[in-house]
Amino acid sequence: MHSTSPITNALTIDVEDYFQVSAFAPYIDRSEWDLRECRVERNVDRILALLDECDTQATFFTLGWIAARYPALVRRIVDGGHELASHGYGHERVSDLSEVEFFDDIYRAKALLEDIAGMRVQGYRAPSFSIGSGNLWALDTLQRAGYRYSSSIYPIRHDHYGMPDAPRFAHRIRDGLIEVPPTTLRMFNRNLPSSGGGYFRLFPYSLSRWMLHQVNSQDSSPAVFYFHPWEIDVGQPRVDGIGFKTRFRHYVNIGRMEQRLEFLLRDFRWGRMDHIFLPSHAQEVALV
């Protein structure tokens, strides 16, 4: 049963497989990706079933690399009433790319997703939220590639990403381009991450629920929550040789994740990014 809150929050899924996580890049070479067991399809199908059970729509930020190998999965996402958005093609951090390389990556992903789905792709999320103060040129590149919104700047302080002084809520960051950051809660004169991923698995569910409720009630704003398909996959192969911090962040409480998602879907009202943050005339644009 959905929350009676009048605010609809944005539920987002970053569609990538466990071996594509940025923290694993030093341990799993990109050339090995095609040799690894790909588990993303069964995990996304489980998520689609869960969303259908809860009558919930979401936004799927999908890697072009995944879409090229599983086009039927992309079509199932769209057929389920969900928004298809871009996570780039090869899950390369924007901070590791030149402007030319970044444009090629995001344009290639957008064209592929649109060709498979027959719908315009309007949103983009950078792998590992890798747009920040050092590469804001990427926003101009996104605009040039035809995107309408980004969800790529996380206004927190983190050892791998973050821009703590960035605005906490959706804002027009370029002419025709909106930035919709993952949700934070302002406390103790700093922004606390409140939007999913490892934080959602690490913290007790009651704390995550309270933080999201605060954003809805005190800030009167929709939250943006994210997670990954591999986070519900207790059977994923364990990666050898990784450091303690990386191992902890990736595997902590994976066994509890699916039940917590069920609680989350029950306790709040959820929807698609484009339906919440874009003008109504820009939604659900079919390609003809």
CB-based contact 184:226 (threshold 8 Å): no
Mean pLDDT, the chain, whole residue set: 92
> What residues are paired with 177 via a beta bridge?
174
Rounded to an integer, what distance in angstroms lies between the CA atom of residue 146 and that of residue 106?
Answer: 10
* Strand residues in 171-231 grouped as ranges (E): 171-174, 177-179, 184-187, 190-193, 224-227
Query: Rounded mean pLDDT of 229-238?
Result: 96
The predicted pLDDT at position 280 comes to 66
Domain edges within the chain: 8-279
CA distance 71 to 117: 8
Cα(129)–Cα(193) distance, integer angstroms: 13
Handedness of CA 274, 272, 170, 2 (dihedral sign): positive
For 153-172, how does the pLDDT look when each residue is reduced to its tens digit (9 = 90+)? Answer: 999 876 566 688 889 999 99
Q: Which CATH superfamily is domain 8-279 in?
A: Glycoside hydrolase/deacetylase (3.20.20.370)
Alpha-carbon distance 218 to 53, whole Å?
30
Phi, psi dihedral angles at 218 (to 5 degrees): -85, -40
**Who wins on pLDDT, 220 or 282?**
220
Read off the pTM.
0.94
Structure tokens at 33: 């990706």
The yes-or-no verdict on residue 282 having pLDDT over 50 is no
Segment 107-136, tens digit of pLDDT: 999 999 999 999 999 999 999 999 999 999
| Paired tokens of 244 | 């303690």
Mean pLDDT of 8-16: 98
How many CB atoms sit inside 10 A of residue 108's CB?
17
- Cα torsion angle, 24, 136, 184, 182, sign: negative
Average pLDDT over residues 180-184: 95
